[in-house]
Amino acid sequence: MATAITLALVLCCIDPGCKTGRESHEMLTVDRKDNNSQVVLTTGQELQVALSENPTTGFRWQMKTAGEPVLELLDDKFDSPTSGLGKGGTRRWRFKAAQRGSADIEMVYRRASEQDQAPAETFRLAVRVEP
């Protein structure tokens, strides 16, 4: 059992998607399960935040904090399914770790017409960028 745990830890450190792996410049992708967590990136590494969204209901993710100047927002796009009217898709933001430091990303899920109400959901991610 101890050998299996040790092997899992070693594989996590080798895996470029490991949330604490700092040696890789591979893009790190986080999603809803990573809400309220922290990731560590190296300068120049890219981060993608992927959250499900269904604009046909009026609900969309809105960026509150994009982590500037530590992070640079490179892209914001919505990937919709190829078929099925009214089906949701995935909103994807791509960031680049621009400089050393700490930053927060915060997004809220709400209808544009309900800005004065609490969001249906909030996504927060703390990011630390190291050389």
Task: State residue 12's pLDDT score.
Answer: 42
Cβ-based neighbours of 86, under 8 Å, separated by 6 or more: 54, 56
Buried b (16+ CB within 10 A) or exposed e, 87-96: ebbebbbbbb
Nearest Cα residue to 124 out of 33, 61, 35, 51? 35
Cβ-based neighbours of 59, under 8 Å, separated by 6 or more: 53, 109, 110, 111, 120
Residue 4's pLDDT band, with cuts at 50, 70 and 90, is very low
Residue range 21-79, pLDDT digits in tens: 445 579 999 999 999 999 999 999 999 999 999 988 999 999 999 999 999 999 999 99
- The Cα 52–Cα 119 span in angstroms is 15
Question: Where in the chain are the domains?
Answer: 2-130
**121 pLDDT more than 80:** yes
Task: State residue 3's pLDDT score.
Answer: 37
Task: State residue 87's pLDDT score.
Answer: 80
Centroid of chain to Cα 105: 8
Residue 123's pLDDT band, with cuts at 50, 70 and 90, is very high
Residue 19's pLDDT band, with cuts at 50, 70 and 90, is low
The sign of the CA dihedral 122, 32, 96, 74 is negative
* Chain mean pLDDT for the chain: 85
Q: Which two tokens stand for residue 52?
A: 């499900």
| Residue 14 or residue 111, greater confidence | 111
- The Cα 78–Cα 108 span in angstroms is 16
| Residue 12 or residue 83, greater confidence | 83
> Global pTM?
0.78
51 strand-pairing partners? 91
What class, spelled out in words, does domain 2-130 have in CATH?
Answer: mainly beta
